[in-house]
Amino acid sequence: MPLCQHASPAWILHIVTMCWTVSEYSLFYSVIAFFCLLQQNNFNDSFIVRAVCLLEYFVFVCVFKKWNIQGLSWDEKECGTSKVSISREKLWIPDISISEFMEEDKSPKTFYVHLNNHGQVTDDKPVRVDSFCKLDIYTFPFDIQNCTMTFGPYLHTGKSQFIIPFILRRRPILYVVNLLLPSCFLITLDLFSFLLPPATTDRSAFKMTLILGYTVFLLIMNDLLPVTGHGTPLLNVFFSISLALMVASLLETIFITNIQFRSDNYVPVPHWLSVLVLRYLAAIVLLYPELNPSIISSKDLHSVCSNIQSEQINPDASMEELRKLSKGVAVIRQHLDRHFEGTRTSREWQMIGIIIDRLLFGLYIIFITISFLIVVIIWVTNNIK
């Protein structure tokens, strides 16, 4: 007998499917015959589709869809079963999809749906989700993302859609171990490099090695940092500040080293700079310079020469010799004046360099501590919210 029979739409109000034998085979052909009649029905009638989503993993979502076929039912005892599996091609399937899809649907294919004796169709299908979500990565790696999945047909209004919100919390332990701790170790090394004496140790070479290592570290760990999202991660700002502080400390080391080794060629320290640094800044950094070496002043030498000339000596042949000695003493006096004056200038410049170095060391500690505390407070505050 033919499976499909043409019928008037007015006749198809409700059909109880009859089975000629108690078997799924006869039930299957009876259901197919019903669908052939249903093709002549009025498709303006609305269908109610119930969809349930089970988020097992972030990549795969199990979607359960249920809807009723009007006018279809059969007797379980007469047909021998209460449920049959029917190919998708022989049924109307609601076009419910996820609006946030970004790529081609690569979900596993399912070829059958279940139909029970009350005309209810059950469609259980896993969906592989490659969706987009607006990420707020400011507090990375301690960020919490609020995302949604919108299910619904494309040809209907927003009233036919339903939105499933879900919250994603990142596991920060990987980023703490691979990003934060090594960066803090390198910053600590750069901090304690200020304790190296610039006059006897090549501190600049050590700092350049640290900067090179920190740059290579950031390049290697660049794949762990987020490249998409809303805003710039606070962690990236912290890394930039750390690198800037390393470069600034290297420039300061070059300046201090130049003062230590070329201070002999400098002009005397201006009075205002001497007062500002050697008096006020030295008191701030608790460093009190001693710049009073025991030297022979020109006044002392002049008094000695005057005493020699005031002595009564007989005008004899030794007078000429005494005059030569007096001239020699005057030359020595001038040489000593220039020598001690240069030594004092050099010591003043070196002391200024030491005071500035200690001052910048203190500022470095304060700035890096405040920056780290601000970052930690922001992370903790956002996690509490």
pLDDT digits (tens, 9 = 90+) for 25-57: 555 556 555 555 444 344 445 555 555 544 444
CB 331 within 8 Å of CB 305: no
Reply yes or no on whether the pLDDT at 97 is more than 90: no
- Residue count of the chain, please give it: 385
Question: Which of the four CATH numbers 2.70.170.10, 3.90.1150.10, 3.90.105.10, 2.60.40.2700 does domain 15-132 have?
Answer: 2.70.170.10
Instruction: Give me the pLDDT at residue 144, please.
Output: 85
Reply yes or no on whether the pLDDT at 371 is more than 80: yes
Q: What residue spans define the domains of the chain?
A: 15-132, 179-384
Residue with tokens 């002392």: 300
User: pLDDT tens digits, residue range 2-31?
Assistant: 334 333 333 333 444 555 454 555 555 565
Instruction: Give me the pLDDT at residue 170, please.
Output: 86
User: pLDDT tens digits, residue range 135-186?
Assistant: 888 888 888 888 888 887 777 665 677 788 888 888 889 899 999 999 999 9
10-30 as b/e, with b when 16 or more CB fall inside 10 Å? Answer: eebeebebebeeeebebbbbb
304 or 81, which is more confident?
81
Split at pLDDT 50, 70, 90, the class of 1 is very low
Please name the amino acid found at residue 182.
Answer: P
Q: Which of 135, 137, 86 minimizes the C-alpha distance to 111?
A: 86
Of 9-18, 79-88, 108-117, 251-260, the poorest mean pLDDT is in 9-18
CB atoms within 10 A of CB 334: 12
User: pLDDT tens digits, residue range 234-247?
Assistant: 888 999 999 999 99
What's the whole-number mean pLDDT along residues 370-379? 90
Rg (CA), the chain: 45
Split at pLDDT 50, 70, 90, the class of 100 is confident
For residue 103, the 8-state DSSP code is: S
Alpha helices in 39-129 (DSSP H): 76-79
Strands 15-17, 72-74: pairing kind: parallel
Instruction: Give me the pLDDT at residue 152, please.
Output: 78
CB 144 within 8 Å of CB 169: yes
Query: For a pLDDT cut of 70, what percent of the chain falls above it?
Result: 68
What's the whole-number mean pLDDT along residues 64-78? 80
Split at pLDDT 50, 70, 90, the class of 295 is very low
